[in-house]
């Protein structure tokens, strides 16, 4: 298989995708980590990313509550790749490190899907978590803000996102074969790595990884751990909203958007969340209709209405209600108000096909809009990534990402119109 002729944005996305290779694997963290380590061979990187890349840290697998009696999948997966001559802006190649963070694994039943993705009802004060004058190379565990004030300038992120960020920053790879781990944490590695002048650092991830990578970049920068690098960039795709308006403002000051040049496709951007307007995930967790990405558009996102595809419309209406409630829960007083604001985004549309008429059609549309649509945009409609070591179907769409919890919920709803209508009425009482 020849190496793809990818530009810098495409290579960054392909590295992000590689972090999802073991999403369907189960076993101990060491077993899964060993599988990913072997999968990320020079052949894989050459054939799916491009020549010149190597893994210089990790990969790392983290499981929240490992149980030898019940093998599970990974909760977080991440690694760092390096290229000695990579162009990020202009035509001047420089060394580059890329921190690659996976999306939600498996069916979303792990800690990543049940907590990191959805624990938005509580928030963390970033100024308390990483205070001014922070020293050291160990990121502390975040604490829930007891009385958040969303009307001031204090930046807040969701508790789930903060825990995922803490894991990626602070956990080391599992030691294999009884040997001590040869890697420190990501935070210590990035602080202490000796790099050439002009070296770039990029954080990237898809879905859950796209909520974690901008937050991780911000936290490590706030902790003064990235000063070795001349330029730090972020490349998230399909991410949900990690924080409030003050976080967006603080992030944008530190990582100003570098949007696509005139005539370039939406994916050719740095420091913006690349968003398919028909993907439900990036519409979480904003509830203000003044922003294009907000939960209120979900019922009609595919053109459904009570007259056009009643079952999908009803399912999406119930889904919206299920997401809006936790999205507002962190607001300290009643009535609850909006908390989350989308990061700067570069938006494209995968095309509005005829509205879905059945639950199965809805699930297919949701999956395509969250996964394959991004591959089509960035890598091209004919490109296929090499499947991971535990893949049962050689298809990109079976790489698991953060839509899994939403799909699991959709599948739990009645698919008979009469029963669904009764369910909808009961939910709204």
Q: What does the pLDDT read at residue 64?
A: 86
Instruction: For residue 393, name the pLDDT band (cuts at 50, 70, 90).
Output: low
Instruction: For residue 361, name the pLDDT band (cuts at 50, 70, 90).
Output: very high
Record the pTM: 0.93
Q: What does the pLDDT read at residue 226?
A: 98
Q: Helix H segments across 135-231?
A: 159-170, 186-192, 208-222
At 79 the three-state DSSP class reads strand
Q: For the chain, what are the domain ranges?
A: 8-427
Instruction: For residue 425, name the pLDDT band (cuts at 50, 70, 90).
Output: low
Query: Over 70: is that where the pLDDT of 408 sits?
Result: no
Query: Over 80: is that where the pLDDT of 176 sits?
Result: no
Q: What does the pLDDT read at residue 91?
A: 76
Q: What does the pLDDT read at residue 117?
A: 63
DSSP secondary structure of 286-352: ---TTSSS-GGGGGGTTS--SSS-HHHHHHHHHHHHHHHHHHHTTSSSSS------PPPEEEE----
List CB contacts of 147: < 8 A, sequence separation 6 or more. 332
Query: Over 60: is that where the pLDDT of 428 sits?
Result: no
Query: Over 70: is that where the pLDDT of 399 sits?
Result: no
127-175 per-position pLDDT tens digit: 999 999 899 889 999 999 999 999 999 999 999 999 999 999 999 999 8
CA dihedral 63, 68, 71, 74 (to 10 degrees): 10
Q: How many angstroms separate the CA atoms of 91 and 172, rounded? A: 35
What mean pLDDT is predicted for residues 87-112? 81
CATH tag for 8-427 (out of 3.40.50.300, 3.40.50.1820, 3.30.470.10, 3.30.300.210): 3.40.50.1820
Q: What does the pLDDT read at residue 411?
A: 60
């Amino acid at each position: 298989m020849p190496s793809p002729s990818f530009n810098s944005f495409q290579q960054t996305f392909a590295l992000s995708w590689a972090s999802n290779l073991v999403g369907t694997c189960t076993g101990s963290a060491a077993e899964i980590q060993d599988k990913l380590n072997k999968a990320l061979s020079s052949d894989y990187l050459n054939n799916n990313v491009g020549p010149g890349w190597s893994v210089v840290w990790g990969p790392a697998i983290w499981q929240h509550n490992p149980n030898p009696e019940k093998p599970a999948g990974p909760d977080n997966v991440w690694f760092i790749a390096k290229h000695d001559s990579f162009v990020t802006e202009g035509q001047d190649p420089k060394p580059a490190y890329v921190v690659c963070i996976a999306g939600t694994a498996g069916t979303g039943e792990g800690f990543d899907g049940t907590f990191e993705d959805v624990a938005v009802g509580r928030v963390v004060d970033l100024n308390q978590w990483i205070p001014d004058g922070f020293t050291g190379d160990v990121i502390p565990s975040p604490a829930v803000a007891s009385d958040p004030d969303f009307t001031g300038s204090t930046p807040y992120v969701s508790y789930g996102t903060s825990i995922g960020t803490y894991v990626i920053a602070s956990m080391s790879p599992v030691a294999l074969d009884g040997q001590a781990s040869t890697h420190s944490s990501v935070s210590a590695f990035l602080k202490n790595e000796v790099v050439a002048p002009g070296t770039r650092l990029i954080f990237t991830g898809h879905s859950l990884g796209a909520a974690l990578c901008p937050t991780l970049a911000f936290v490590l920068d706030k902790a003064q751990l990235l000063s070795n690098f001349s330029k730090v960039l972020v490349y998230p795709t399909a991410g949900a909203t990690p924080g409030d308006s003050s976080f967006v403002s603080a992030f944008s000051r530190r990582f100003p958007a570098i949007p696509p040049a005139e005539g370039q496709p939406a994916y050719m951007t740095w420091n913006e969340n690349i968003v398919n307007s028909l993907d439900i995930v990036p519409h979480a967790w904003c509830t203000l209709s003044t922003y294009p990405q907000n939960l209120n558009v979900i019922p009609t996102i595919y053109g459904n209405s009570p007259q056009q595809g009643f079952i999908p419309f009803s399912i999406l209406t119930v889904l919206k209600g299920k997401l809006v409630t936790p999205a507002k829960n962190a607001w300290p007083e009643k009535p609850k108000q909006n908390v989350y604001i989308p990061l700067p985004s570069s938006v494209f549309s995968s095309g509005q096909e005829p509205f879905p008429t059945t639950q199965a059609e809805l699930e297919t549309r949701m999956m395509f809009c969250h996964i394959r649509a991004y591959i089509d945009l960035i890598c091209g409609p004919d490109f296929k990534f090499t499947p991971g070591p535990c893949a049962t179907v050689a298809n990109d769409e079976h790489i698991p990402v953060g839509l899994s919890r939403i799909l699991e919920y959709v599948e739990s709803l009645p698919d008979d119109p009469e029963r669904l209508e009764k369910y909808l009425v009961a939910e709204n009482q």
